[in-house]
Amino acid sequence: MEKLMIKGGRPLYGHVPVSGAKNSALALIPATILAESVTVIENLPDIQDVQVFEGILRRLGAEVARDGDRLCIDGRQLRNLPMADPSVKKLRASYYLMGAMLGRFGEAVVGLPGGCNLGPRPIDQHIKGFEALGAQVVYKDGSLHLTASRLKGARVYLDVMSVGATINIMLAASRAEGVTVIENAAKEPEIIDVATLLSSMGARIQGAGTDVIRIRGKHSLQGCRHSIIPDRIEAGTYMIVAAATVGDVTVENVIPLHLEPLSAKLREMGFSVKESDESLRVIGRETYRAVDIKTLPYPGFPTDLQQPFTSLLTQAEGTSLVTDNIYVSRFKHVDELYRMGADIRVEGRSALIRGGSPLHGATVRATDLRGGAALVVAGLAAAGVTEITGVDHIDRGYENLEKKLCSLGAEIWRS
Ligand SMILES: CC(=O)N[C@H]1[C@@H](OP(=O)(O)OP(=O)(O)OC[C@H]2O[C@@H](n3ccc(=O)[nH]c3=O)[C@H](O)[C@@H]2O)O[C@H](CO)[C@@H](O)[C@@H]1O
Ligand SMILES: C=C(OP(=O)(O)O)C(=O)O
């Protein structure tokens, strides 16, 4: 089993390029199923989840060719096969096969999705949307069976602002007859990215990025060329690394607006965050203030950065309260941080962090993707050597993590 080894305590300096967004890529790849010709996706991150999804499309009969950060998907020969193999269960985003296959074939059989274990990850709002469009949805033998003799545009009000449900309904609605209106839609940048792709394919989409999205579907969609937006969570992780190591790091190829919730919190703590058109520079300091955070749908503080940010808060002056309003159990990294010397108490969906206990290297285990990133942040800030197991979780979402960190002066390696 591979391990990440980190010799911590070194300030990180320099520039680091950000890859394409994981959480866009994992929706854009299944979205290509809706097109009857070739789609080219650019700025694709080379991460495990993307590789798994490429395999799923190949098994469905698509021709998939990768050239650097470009993926060419020819879905003309796609077949409507039941998809319930272990790879489907590995990914949370495999649920997008439901909206995409339903849109393309009028039916789909898809195994229940996987992804990080963050507590319950229900999909009732996805199902509500598919049913509103005229689909019948039945659960049988571990899979959802979706069928629709005709998909027809409808008004769908989401009970919770869900990124997954918003995107999944947009996918199916893009090939439905007439207009679909999604109310109380989520507003994440990745939703705008998917809407841009679907519009380039021929659907008419208005309002993505607001809480009301209108989709006029089209009987047939055509392939196009699309470049993925930068990964705001990867960018945020490196910004936190800069602060936690008392370094000075410029994160390049970002959309600064997407990082505003994090930049604002870092400034509140006393860090300098300098913004230019496509980069953000974070300058660390020896002492900084504790702050409270509450995760919320965009433009609130992202749940995906809560875990790495918690590692930074362990070194702040004072006590911080972190509340995760999106996922109740997104605190599995806390037990591991505790082994490294952190003073954190978890109660329900909150963690109380008493800052200022020095971190020291330890043997710790990543049990989910961003929990793993939190341990990397802590390991870089800690005195001594940290050994992280469960690296496969981290590889799901970070491209060239060690290479990028080494280029900033970190001592990190795989063994
Ligand atoms: C709003 C939000 O921050 N979404 C995050 C969520 O997206 P992901 O798409 O996984 O989750 P959703 O946005 O769908 O879920 C948001 C909330 O709604 C609830 N829910 C969702 C769907 C549903 O049918 N029923 C239901 O009750 C979820 O339990 C959760 O509490 O995790 C991703 C991976 O960590 C992040 O990149 C997204 O930014
Ligand atoms: C939890 C994450 O991924 P997933 O939803 O794909 O499990 C994430 O990107 O932080």
DSSP string, 117-162: --S----HHHHHHHHHTT-EEEEETTEEEEE-SS-B--EEE-SS--
pTM value > 0.95: yes
CA of 355 to the centre of ligand 2 (A): 27
Q: Does residue 10 contact residue 409 with C-beta atoms inside 8 Å? A: yes
Q: Is 122 in the pocket of ligand 1 (CB under 6 A)?
A: yes
Q: Which atom of ligand 1 lies closest to the CA of 163?
A: 13
Q: How far is CA 361 from CA 235, 240, 260, in A?
A: 25, 18, 31
Predicted local distance difference test score (pLDDT) of residue 89: 87
Which parts of 202-278 are beta strand (E)?
204-206, 212-216, 225-227, 248-252, 272-275
Helix or strand run (H / E) with residue 387 = strand 385-389
Q: Is 159 in the pocket of ligand 1 (CB under 6 A)?
A: no
Q: How far is CA 171 from CA 98, 204, 359, in A?
A: 9, 12, 45
Q: Is 91 in the pocket of ligand 1 (CB under 6 A)?
A: no
Return d(Cα 375, Cα 332) in angstroms, integer.
11
Return d(Cα 277, Cα 244) in angstroms, integer.
24
Q: Which atom of ligand 1 lies closest to the CA of 369?
A: 35
Q: Which of 160, 169, 294 to mutate to test the pocket of ligand 1 (most atoms within 8 A of CB)?
A: 160
Predicted local distance difference test score (pLDDT) of residue 231: 98
Q: Is 324 annotated as a binding residue?
A: no
CATH number of 4-19+230-414: 3.65.10.10
Q: What share of the chain is helix, strand, coil (3-state, %, to 5)?
A: 35, 30, 35
CA of 264 to the centre of ligand 1 (A): 23
CA of 96 to the centre of ligand 2 (A): 14
Just list the catalytic residues: 116
Phi then psi for residue 163, to 5 deg, are: -65, -50
Nearest CA to ligand 1 atom 23: 123
Phi then psi for residue 335, to 5 deg, are: -60, -35
Which of 139, 133, 194 lies closest to 163, judged by CA? 194
> Which residues have C-beta within 8 Å of that of residue 13, sequence separation ≥ 6?
247, 248, 249, 408, 409
Predicted local distance difference test score (pLDDT) of residue 280: 98
Q: Is 188 in the pocket of ligand 1 (CB under 6 A)?
A: yes
Return d(Cα 130, Cα 118) in angstroms, integer.
25
Q: Which atom of ligand 2 lies closest to the CA of 116?
A: 7
Phi then psi for residue 59, to 5 deg, are: -65, -25
Ligand nearest to the CA of 398: 2
Task: Indicate if 22-227 has the same CATH topology as 4-19+230-414.
Answer: yes
Q: Is 166 in the pocket of ligand 1 (CB under 6 A)?
A: no
Predicted local distance difference test score (pLDDT) of residue 119: 80
Return d(Cα 68, Cα 42) in angstroms, integer.
9
Return d(Cα 296, Cα 314) in angstroms, integer.
21
Residues within a 6 A CB radius of ligand 2: 22-23, 92-93, 115-116, 304, 369-370, 397
Nearest CA to ligand 2 atom 10: 304
CA of 288 to the centre of ligand 1 (A): 31
Q: Is 392 annotated as a binding residue?
A: no
Pairing of β 70-74 and β 272-275: unpaired
Helix or strand run (H / E) with residue 343 = strand 343-347
Q: Which atom of ligand 1 lies closest to the CA of 326?
A: 31
Q: Is 121 annotated as a binding residue?
A: yes
CA 165 to mean position of chain CA atoms: 14
Ligand nearest to the CA of 122: 1
> Which residues have C-beta within 8 Å of that of residue 82, sequence separation ≥ 6?
109, 110, 143
Per-residue pLDDT of the chain (415 residues; tens, 9 = 90+): 899 999 999 999 999 999 999 999 999 999 999 999 999 999 999 999 999 999 999 999 999 999 999 999 999 999 999 999 888 988 999 999 999 999 999 999 999 988 888 888 899 999 999 999 999 999 999 899 999 999 999 999 999 999 999 999 999 999 999 999 999 999 999 999 999 999 999 999 999 999 999 999 999 999 999 999 999 999 999 999 999 999 999 999 999 999 999 999 999 999 999 999 999 999 999 999 999 999 999 999 999 999 999 999 999 999 999 999 999 889 999 999 999 999 999 999 999 999 999 999 999 999 999 999 999 999 999 999 999 999 999 999 999 999 999 999 999 999 9
Q: 368: which 2 tokens?
A: 């989910």
Whether the ω angle into residue 122 lies within 30 degrees of 0, i.e. cis, is no
Q: Does residue 327 contact residue 350 with C-beta atoms inside 8 Å? A: no
Which of 329, 326, 336 lies closest to 376, judged by CA? 336
CATH number of 22-227: 3.65.10.10
Q: Does residue 18 contact residue 234 with C-beta atoms inside 8 Å? A: yes
DSSP string, 38-83: EEEEES----HHHHHHHHHHHHTT-EEEEETTEEEEE-TT-----B
Q: Is 304 annotated as a binding residue?
A: yes
Q: Is 122 annotated as a binding residue?
A: yes
Ligand nearest to the CA of 162: 1
Return d(Cα 111, Cα 387) in angstroms, integer.
35
Q: Where are the domains of the chain?
A: 4-19+230-414, 22-227
Ligand nearest to the CA of 169: 1
Q: In what order do the strands lie in the sheet with 343-347?
A: 293-295, 319-324, 350-354, 343-347
Q: Is 326 annotated as a binding residue?
A: yes
Work out the angle at residue 399's Cα, subtended by the Cα atoms of residues 394 and 405, and round it to the nearest 5 degrees.
Answer: 85
Q: Which atom of ligand 1 lies closest to the CA of 325?
A: 31
